[in-house]
Amino acid sequence: MEDLFLLAGLLLILTSFLSLYRAIHGPGIFNRIIAVNVIGTKTILLLVLIGFIYGRPHFLDIALVYALLNFIMTIAATKY
């Protein structure tokens, strides 16, 4: 079962690199902002997976705080 979670984590990291490519070479500023938001969301999922694999519930709290910061920064970036 742990191998399945590790595979999911590796797939999230791979797709984060694809989103990073979109953030660097995006056609417009809004596409770049959304790509950075997607990277933040995948980071949150990775934190939750790490917390579940190692049995550390504190990672869920960190993921929630990071989700809040990710949301606020996305709203701030789209406003300006």
Q: Which two tokens stand for residue 33?
A: 């902002």
How confident is the model over 5-34, as a mean pLDDT? 91
Can you give the pTM of this predicted structure?
Answer: 0.86
Nearest Cα neighbor of 42 from 17, 22, 73, 76 is 17
Coil vs helix vs strand at 11: helix
**Whether 59 contacts 48, CB under 8 Å:** yes
How confident is the model over 23-47, as a mean pLDDT? 91
Residue 26 reports pLDDT greater than 90:
no
Coil vs helix vs strand at 64: helix
**Which residues, at least 6 apart from 61, have a Cβ–Cβ distance to it below 8 Å?**
none
